[in-house]
Amino acid sequence: MNKKSPVWRNFSSQNAIRQAVRAIVDVEPFESDFESELISDLIFERHYFCSVRELRPLRFKKTEEQKPYKFYGYFECIGWHAVSWYKCVQSPPSRRYHIDRALRDRISPIKLSYRRANPICEYCHSAPAVETHHEMPTWVHIMDAVFSEVTEQDIKDAFGAWDWFNEESFAIPEDNRITHTFDANHRNAVLRALCKPCHDSTKSNKQDA
Ligand SMILES: [Zn+2]
C-alpha cells in the first residue's frame, strides 16, 4: 500500500516533483492546450478521484480565472474539468481533506441543534454561541480513529461512488465503513457551544474544531 508509485520513482521529494511540474506549466501561455506525460501520470496515479476511476487527462491548459492560474485537464469522457496538480503531489492529505469535509457536512445538523439548545457560550458564559466545538475527543482524534480503523478499499469505495464530474459536494455513502466508523466514534463526543473568540482559543495549539 505504501509502495512508491511510478511517478514518484524519479523524484527524491515532493518539492522535486513540484519543481518539475512548474518547469512545464510556467512557460505555457494562458488558454493554450499542451500535453505532459508527467502531469498526466501524476493525476492518473495520485488524484483522489481520477486514481480510483482510472481517469487520465490527455491535455492541459491554464486560465487567468485565478492567481497564479486555474488548471484544467481534458478528459475523454467529459471534456475540460478543473483539476489541481498541486494537490496530487500531496495526495493522501488531500483525500483526508475531502473525507474530513464530508464528515463535517454530515454532522452539521447535530452541531446546529446543539447550539440551538445552548445559545450562550459555554466557556465565557456571556457571548452568543456561534460555533460547536468537539471537546472530548477532539475532532482530530475522531478523524485519527476513523483513519486507523478503515481500509484503503473503504476509502476507494467512497470516492468511487462519487460523481466528481457533476461537481457535487463529496458525500460518503451511508453503507460505507467510513460512515459507520465515524458515527460510532462520534456518538459519545462531548460538544461545547462557543463564541468566536473562545472557539479561536481552542485552535491555538492545533487545527481543530
Ligand atoms: Zn466565549
In this structure, are 18 and 46 located in the same domain? yes
Distance (Å) from CA 131 to ligand 1 centroid: 10
In this structure, are 59 and 116 located in the same domain? no
Domain count, the chain: 2
178 vs 128: CA distance, rounded Å? 34
123 vs 23: CA distance, rounded Å? 51
Domain boundary among 89, 111, 138: 89
Distance (Å) from CA 80 to ligand 1 centroid: 47
User: What pLDDT does residue 92 have?
Assistant: 67
User: What pLDDT does residue 4 have?
Assistant: 60
Distance (Å) from CA 128 to ligand 1 centroid: 8
In this structure, are 85 and 174 located in the same domain? no
Q: Is residue 2 part of a domain?
A: no
User: What pLDDT does residue 1 have?
Assistant: 36
In this structure, are 163 and 178 located in the same domain? yes
User: What pLDDT does residue 173 have?
Assistant: 92
In this structure, are 157 and 69 located in the same domain? no
Distance (Å) from CA 96 to ligand 1 centroid: 30
In this structure, are 114 and 188 located in the same domain? yes
Distance (Å) from CA 132 to ligand 1 centroid: 11
In this structure, are 104 and 179 located in the same domain? yes
Q: Is residue 173 part of a domain?
A: yes
58 vs 45: CA distance, rounded Å? 14
Partners of 193 in beta bridges: 132
Within 8 A by CB and 6+ apart from 82, the residues are 70, 71, 72
User: What pLDDT does residue 166 have?
Assistant: 74
Q: Is residue 9 part of a domain?
A: no
Q: Is residue 135 part of a domain?
A: yes
In this structure, are 72 and 165 located in the same domain? no
In this structure, are 109 and 195 located in the same domain? yes
User: What pLDDT does residue 18 have?
Assistant: 94
Distance (Å) from CA 120 to ligand 1 centroid: 8
User: What pLDDT does residue 205 have?
Assistant: 52
Distance (Å) from CA 196 to ligand 1 centroid: 7
Domain boundary among 89, 118, 145: 89
48 neighbors 27 (Cβ within 8 angstroms): no
Distance (Å) from CA 201 to ligand 1 centroid: 9
Domain boundary among 89, 117, 150: 89
Sole residue written with cell 508509485 = 5
Give the predicted TM-score (pTM) of the model. 0.71
Q: Is residue 4 part of a domain?
A: no
Distance (Å) from CA 134 to ligand 1 centroid: 15
Distance (Å) from CA 140 to ligand 1 centroid: 21
> For residue 137, is the peptide bond before it cis, meaning its omega torsion is within 30 degrees of 0?
yes
Q: Is residue 6 part of a domain?
A: no
In this structure, are 103 and 191 located in the same domain? yes
55 neighbors 49 (Cβ within 8 angstroms): yes
User: What pLDDT does residue 207 have?
Assistant: 47
In this structure, are 112 and 200 located in the same domain? yes
pLDDT, one tens digit for every residue, the chain (209 residues): 344 667 777 888 889 999 999 999 999 999 999 999 999 999 998 898 898 888 999 999 999 999 999 999 999 988 999 999 998 988 666 788 889 999 999 999 999 999 999 999 999 999 999 999 999 999 999 999 999 999 999 999 998 888 877 766 888 999 999 999 999 999 999 999 999 999 999 886 554 44
In this structure, are 23 and 62 located in the same domain? yes
* Domain that includes residue 48, residue range: 14-89
